[in-house]
């Protein structure tokens, strides 16, 4: 190999190394797609039956780093009409661990209405908080209650879907 060819190979090698470094910096830290996309509104609905109650379970998640916070609410509908008066929300907090999110909450600490900045507080009476694990399966968020009190009218295992908001 002559000096001209060797110089061309070296230039190409340096360019490839530079390109790889730029791509690495643009991509940033790598997280499993599901965990990085956990923030948002997630909904599970019981099957609708004419003249029978239908439960809607909504989870709103805010993620900052490895910490998640948010609220969930349970609403009842009959024939598509909401049966509540002023709503409800229960705060939670949790952590991202590998490909799942573990949250803790107190089902008896439901706040009436839709106040802003509702935050989770560990039960003060010595009770252990309820714990749920959230994992991703495609575009679905799987909820599994691990231990603690269940949420009334909500199964211990269910699949939440990202809520589509009207535009």
Between the alpha carbon of residue 127 and those of residues 57, 107, 122, 152, 158, the distances in Å are 24, 11, 9, 18, 25
Q: What class does CATH assign to 33-162?
A: mainly beta
Which pLDDT belongs to residue 26? 43
The per-residue pLDDT for 31 is 39
Nearest Cα to 92, choosing from 56, 57, 118, 116? 118
58 SS3 class: strand
H or E stretch covering 44:
strand 40-45
Contact in structure between 60 and 93 (CB atoms under 8 Å): no
Q: What is the dihedral of CA 121, 124, 126, 131, to 10 degrees?
A: -10
- Predicted local confidence at residue 162, as pLDDT: 95
Q: What does the alpha-carbon distance between residue 114 and residue 103 come to, in Å, rounded to a whole number?
A: 21
Predicted confidence at residue 23, as pLDDT, reads 38
Provide the residue ranges of all domains of the chain, joining segments of one domain with +.
1-30, 33-162
What DSSP letter does each residue of 96-150 carry, written as one string? Answer: EETTEEEEEE-TT-PEES--SS------TTSPPPEEEEEEEETTEEEEEEEESPP
Question: How would you write the pLDDT of the chain (167 residues) with one tens digit per residue?
Answer: 666 656 565 666 556 455 444 334 343 333 345 567 899 999 999 888 888 889 999 999 999 999 999 999 999 988 888 887 667 899 999 999 888 999 999 999 988 877 777 899 999 898 999 999 999 988 899 999 999 999 999 999 999 999 876 65
Strand duo 140-147 + 53-64: pairing: unpaired
What is the rounded distance in angstroms from the CA atom of residue 23 to the CA atom of residue 20? 5
Beta bridge partners of 144: 133, 157
In 10 A of CB 34, how many CB atoms? 19
Joined together, the tokens standing for residue 87 give 């709503």
């Amino acid at each position: 190999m002559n000096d001209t060819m060797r110089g061309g190979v070296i230039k190409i090698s340096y360019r490839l190394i530079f390109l790889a470094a730029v791509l690495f910096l643009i991509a940033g830290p790598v997280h499993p797609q599901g965990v990085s996309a956990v923030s948002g509104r997630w909904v599970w609905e019981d099957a609708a039956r004419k003249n029978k109650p239908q439960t809607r379970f909504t989870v709103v998640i805010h993620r900052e780093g490895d910490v998640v916070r948010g609220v969930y609410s349970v609403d009842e509908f009959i024939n598509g009409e909401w049966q509540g008066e002023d709503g409800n929300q229960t705060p939670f907090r949790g952590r991202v661990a590998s490909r799942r999110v573990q949250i803790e909450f107190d089902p008896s600490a439901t706040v009436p209405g839709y106040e802003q900045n509702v935050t989770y507080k560990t039960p003060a009476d010595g009770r252990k908080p309820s714990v749920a694990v959230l994992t991703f399966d495609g575009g679905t968020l799987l909820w599994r209650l691990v231990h603690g009190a269940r949420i009334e009218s909500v199964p211990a295992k269910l699949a939440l879907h990202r809520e589509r908001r009207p535009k």
